[in-house]
A and B are shown apart, each in its own frame.
Chain A
């Protein structure tokens, strides 16, 4: 099987984000493989164990520095990588077009894994756009995945313990959620091996893409800080419980 995994190079969630010129972030922070994409790569690797002749190709749109993130995906099991280079910040309509074009140029996908969202722009939509461009079925927030009798069987999580199980014809696009698997830390030999794997670099300008008619453009960024002024609830536990109920009733007005 040709297994493609779409990955993104994102700032570490623990990094302090500084905003420059009210429009962009200071990129001098640690970047890494988007956490949900780790689940996507891990699932691709376990699928390859079941279908031994498979090849896993990690595809990434990003700045040249994103090579590091492709190497991380390789240490987790990707066989080779494709980096489409750009210094632009692309919206998801453009990103999906680029990833679609890069995959079409490379080969014939049997399955495409992505993360359910990226932790930087939190758009939650690129997987659906890739699916629409290929005309492949898509599911998102996958928590269980298998292939039986030529179909993907995927269970997806909604909130509150609700799940939906789908049968998808192949090829298909699967957006990985956290419940799907537990990504392992790559071993040192894995990391060394990853350094020798091949990454093909393409300039975004060299891919033929039909631009979307619409666009999403960031016009301002501001730090999200909500200063709260804590008040202490005192007394014994019965008093404290009573006061919590009063606050919920009279101040938050969420209890009748």
Chain B
């Protein structure tokens, strides 16, 4: 029987919804499903993973010391060793902020082919669908090899329960030789609660129409009420209103939220490259001729300085 490993991401000691979606995707083949957990396993985590079809929960046994556990080189080393020891045929990980620094490392260590940012995968034929050329092209890529790896775009697949009774397995962690790269400090942002851009269900993004960095607080306030992540157009980051990490677009993050609310964003080709796969696009813009008004699901022609405060008030 084939074996698939799924690199599980956690948040606040709970399995991320986007990780559960990966399990649903992996379950399209009849492979045995192993959850590879890097941040500790308890009964609740086992139950949650079992509910979506995992048959073996593997605790990679990383130490809790964050300097070690958060180091992507350490994480990749543990994941690659597990893939070898378990003789996995396929490894799935998320193409999330953390996944982009983990999944390619695992692929490099295993010298295995990888497609990142998969919108869909056929786990039997090992064909992945991903976007290329700034979101203008869909490419179907066939992987061959002893082990093949897929980095899945968060929210590409919605999780579907498929109950299994998982067994638990522990891997011994033996201090790997990654002393050539040490994690010395980490910063989780002023607002640790801000949903990660690539994984958010809702994104509210601001552009030129916000006019300055002070006004951008309207977007942040609205995001808080919506439990949404904040995005920005290239203009907003180039002007320094928000850091580059907030940029959605061809040179920023590629996102697929269920709803994307674009405020004061004209909708350049480069911006669409980052968000055209959103489930729903709502545009708020003063200019009814802005490109985004013709390529969205709903548009509001109006002054965002009136509409956003109303939204905040009503939420």
> A-side interface residues toward B, CB under 8 Å?
11, 13-14, 16-17, 19, 25, 35-36, 91-93, 119-125, 127-129, 131-132, 136-141, 143, 153, 156-169, 172, 177-179, 212-224, 226, 228-233, 237-238, 240-242, 244-245, 247-248, 251-255
Which of B104, B148, B246, B279 is the one whose CB lies under 8 Å from A128?
A: B104
Interface of A is mostly: mixed
Determine if A166 and B138 form an interchain contact, defined as CB atoms under 8 angstroms apart.
no
CB distance from B167 to the nearest CB of A (A): 30
Closest A residue by C-beta to B131: A224
Which of A121, A222, A241, A254 is the one whose CB lies under 8 Å from B138?
A: A222
CB distance from A123 to the nearest CB of B (A): 6
Which of B111, B136, B277, B302 is the one whose CB lies under 8 Å from A237?
A: B302
Which of A158, A165, A218 is the one whose CB lies under 8 Å from B183?
A: A165
- State the CA gap A131–B253 with chains docked (Å): 24
Which of A164, A172, A177, A244 is the one whose CB lies under 8 Å from B244?
A: A177
- State the CA gap A104–B112 with chains docked (Å): 22
CB distance from B169 to the nearest CB of A (A): 26
Determine if A14 and B111 form an interchain contact, defined as CB atoms under 8 angstroms apart.
no
Most buried by B among A17, A137, A218, A248: A248
CB distance from A56 to the nearest CB of B (A): 23
Interface of B is mostly: mixed
Return 5 A-B CB contacts under 8 Å, by A number: A36-B251, A128-B107, A132-B109, A228-B297, A241-B310
Bitwise, B215-259 to A at CB < 8 A (1) or not (0) is: 000000000001001000000000000011111001111100011
Residues of B within 8 A of A222 (CB): 137-138, 140
CB distance from A99 to the nearest CB of B (A): 13
Determine if B187 and A162 form an interchain contact, defined as CB atoms under 8 angstroms apart.
yes
Determine if B111 and A132 form an interchain contact, defined as CB atoms under 8 angstroms apart.
yes
Determine if B295 and A228 form an interchain contact, defined as CB atoms under 8 angstroms apart.
yes
- Given A125-B107, A163-B186, A240 contacting B300 (CB threshold 8 A): yes
- Given A177-B244, A215-B113, A168 contacting B186 (CB threshold 8 A): no
- Given A143-B244, A214-B146, A248 contacting B314 (CB threshold 8 A): no
Binding-face segment, B14-22, B31-39, B196-204 = B196-204
CB distance from B255 to the nearest CB of A (A): 9
- Using a CB-CB cutoff of 8 Å, which residues 82-119 of chain B contact chain A? 95-98, 100-101, 104-105, 107-109, 111-117
Q: Does B139 contact A (CB under 8 A)?
A: yes
Closest B residue by C-beta to A164: B186
Residues of B within 8 A of A237 (CB): 302-303, 306-307, 310
Determine if B137 and A224 form an interchain contact, defined as CB atoms under 8 angstroms apart.
yes
Which of B98, B127, B190, B301 is the one whose CB lies under 8 Å from A161?
A: B190
- Given A237-B302, A237-B307, A240-B300, A215 contacting B145 (CB threshold 8 A): yes
Determine if B140 and A215 form an interchain contact, defined as CB atoms under 8 angstroms apart.
no
Determine if B117 and A124 form an interchain contact, defined as CB atoms under 8 angstroms apart.
yes
- State the CA gap A25–B9 with chains docked (Å): 36
Determine if B251 and A35 form an interchain contact, defined as CB atoms under 8 angstroms apart.
yes
Determine if A221 and B311 form an interchain contact, defined as CB atoms under 8 angstroms apart.
no
Q: Does B24 contact A (CB under 8 A)?
A: no
Bitwise, B136-175 to A at CB < 8 A (1) or not (0) is: 1111111111111001000000000000000000000000
- State the CA gap A128–B139 with chains docked (Å): 22
CB distance from B308 to the nearest CB of A (A): 8
- Given A157-B245, A216-B114, A248-B226, A223 contacting B137 (CB threshold 8 A): yes
Most buried by A among B104, B243, B261, B299: B104
Residues of B within 8 A of A220 (CB): 139-140
Closest A residue by C-beta to B301: A232
Which of B101, B136, B180 is the one whose CB lies under 8 Å from A156?
A: B101
CB distance from B12 to the nearest CB of A (A): 14
Determine if B97 and A172 form an interchain contact, defined as CB atoms under 8 angstroms apart.
no
Residues of B within 8 A of A163 (CB): 186-187
Which of B140, B148, B299 is the one whose CB lies under 8 Å from A214?
A: B148
Determine if B259 and A138 form an interchain contact, defined as CB atoms under 8 angstroms apart.
no
Closest B residue by C-beta to A222: B138
Determine if A160 and B229 form an interchain contact, defined as CB atoms under 8 angstroms apart.
yes
Closest A residue by C-beta to B277: A226
- Using a CB-CB cutoff of 8 Å, which residues 270-313 of chain B contact chain A? 270, 273, 276-277, 279-283, 293-303, 306-307, 310-311, 313
Residues of B within 8 A of A217 (CB): 141-142, 144
Determine if B184 and A13 form an interchain contact, defined as CB atoms under 8 angstroms apart.
no
Determine if B183 and A164 form an interchain contact, defined as CB atoms under 8 angstroms apart.
yes
Residues of B within 8 A of A168 (CB): 180-182
Which of B141, B243, B259 is the one whose CB lies under 8 Å from A248?
A: B259
Which of B143, B196, B229, B314 is the one whose CB lies under 8 Å from A241?
A: B314
- Given A167-B182, A233-B298, A162 contacting B113 (CB threshold 8 A): no
Determine if A238 and B197 form an interchain contact, defined as CB atoms under 8 angstroms apart.
no
Most buried by A among B184, B273, B281: B184
